[in-house]
Structure 1
């Protein structure tokens, strides 16, 4: 297949394009000319890159022939103080333009990477701009998929983790604190539960969906990607603490819960299981891999 991928220099996208390249697919990536390509440096010569900031985002559809699938993994979290306008452009306007040109060019399927945190009816205030933009594009995809023959596959990820992730995210920051034996780690009470899913299992879910594109239903379909079980933040942190044999003091309850905190999240993976997919990496094994990367 000829597959166009956004966000290929990021945590998920880099692992995804490597796996798809090993599968023998032709991979076209959309990136910025200033993107840090260190995660994909070893396979960059095997990819077909286009720079969106040089006006090349539409060029693949005219220069590369029929594109069999679009996988959108690029996102802007707003963690670097990006303005709301920048987030709307990155998370709504850009993928909507990509979806439009894909429809006009006859691309058979669009796979969108979504997040569990955008699902609640009322969004947590500290993540509201990000989650609002993710929800808005999902609604655009649903609207357009219902009025055309294009299958729009919404891949809703639970709490993904793995090596080479950004150090400021929850899992890497907890492991880093424990490995470095920092004096203390301030946390909420930790009663929130999350469905921790290792990045390799997420990649395998995308591969399964691609393998079934010819048989996926038209219109909008959502696949939830997780292990199907939830672990409390407290249990997760205590496990990481025990596995690292850390001397860091875990100060549960020293941070208040966020406004409208999501207290429980767990994937319903039955649709993916019906396609033959199941998660393979247990939490302890995944944590060992992340710890080995830090060491």
Structure 2
């Protein structure tokens, strides 16, 4: 048994890989170490994995068809894929739309083609996003709701991934599970996300922008809870049920919709400094509120988020201080 993890130098991917290695599971990591954000942070995550004998790494782009498909011959014993590589970020999709289709659509297709070529593969697990709910006004967001009104290209590519995977599960009997992650934060987090942006600005004495004049709520989910959900899912591939293909989609969130201003207050407290606040209008592609219904994940694999923002934010700020010497 071995698990192939894409986005292995990323925030979620590196943590998933580390937890698998701790369990004694060999991991094949794939990442292209692109410069969407500081590659030194990605390399630092990767360095912490490469000290382990159970970790193999290939620097590849998931949209590189020949190189990705060649992994089937190099690692024929892979039994699970956890596909987390993607072009992330809602706002950047307004600036560079081609990157999203190339990575999130073509890259996803390449990974599914690899999956059906691996002779021992039991489960294809992939990252979707809470962004697929778009402008949905019914809360909490449920996997039973329609998700055909995306408000960003990023969301549209993630919904495309879900539809393509359903098709492959139907055509090739490929057991697959999509995970709609809700606003992940925590140590080793991405610099383009709010916890990192706010913390950095506060320590540097720079203003923070608070969109929609602070009238926003998010289902902030701590990294350890996200990873616990991923690992629980990996062990439980779906089965074909009559005419229904072996494909499931779940929300992985904290099941709490927290006010953005409360999130900012906790970061200020952990930093020991007040933020310089600048209030701004809602940004294109953004949504006012997210809130995960996690009932199906609780029922099917016992998912129970444990870390509140009152616990998680100080942990993140402590990591930030250590990593940056703040």
Structure 2 length as normaliser, TM-score? 0.80
Tell me which of 145, 167, 189 is aligned to 1:143: 167
8 Å CA contact 1:12–1:73 kept in 2: the answer is yes
Q: Which residue of 2 aligns with 1:272?
A: 297
Change (3 A) 1:9 1:82: farther
Change (3 A) 1:197 1:110: same
**Aligned mates of 1:9, 1:68 — CA distance in 2:** 21
Which ranges of structure 1 fall in alignment gaps of 5 or more residues? Answer: none
Q: Equivalences for 1:81-230 in 2 at 5 Å?
A: 83-106=96-119, 107-120=121-134, 121-124=148-151, 128-182=152-206, 184-188=207-211, 189-213=213-237, 218-230=245-257
Change (3 A) 1:23 1:82: farther
Per the TM alignment, residue 288 of structure 1 is displaced from its structure 2 partner at its CA by 0.8
RMSD (CA atoms): 2.5
**Aligned mates of 2:240, 2:47 — CA distance in 1:** 33
Q: Aligned with 1:77: secondary structure?
A: coil
Q: 1:104-147 deviations in whole A, cap 9, x for unaligned?
A: 334221111011112224333xxx23222222122111222233
Aligned residues: 289
Per the TM alignment, residue 90 of structure 1 is displaced from its structure 2 partner at its CA by 0.9
Change (3 A) 1:153 1:289: same
- Select between 211-220 and 105-114 the one with higher mean Cα deviation: 211-220
- Select between 81-90 and 187-196 the one with higher mean Cα deviation: 81-90
- Select between 76-85 and 134-143 the one with higher mean Cα deviation: 76-85
Q: Which residue of 2 aligns with 1:57?
A: 68
Per the TM alignment, residue 28 of structure 1 is displaced from its structure 2 partner at its CA by 1.0
Q: Which residue of 2 aligns with 1:234?
A: 261
Q: Equivalences for 1:10-25 in 2 at 5 Å?
A: 10-25=10-25
8 Å CA contact 1:181–1:247 kept in 2: the answer is no
Q: Does 1:42 align with 2:69?
A: no
**Aligned mates of 2:166, 2:93 — CA distance in 1:** 29
8 Å CA contact 2:270–2:317 kept in 1: the answer is no
- Select between 37-46 and 269-278 the one with higher mean Cα deviation: 37-46
Which ranges of structure 2 fall in alignment gaps of 5 or more residues? Answer: 135-147, 322-326
**Aligned mates of 1:214, 1:130 — CA distance in 2:** 26
**Aligned mates of 1:175, 1:69 — CA distance in 2:** 36
Change (3 A) 1:97 1:249: closer
Structure 1 length as normaliser, TM-score? 0.88
8 Å CA contact 1:50–1:57 kept in 2: the answer is no
**Aligned mates of 1:139, 1:223 — CA distance in 2:** 14
Q: 1:160-215 deviations in whole A, cap 9, x for unaligned?
A: 00112222321111122233443x43312222211000111111111111222377
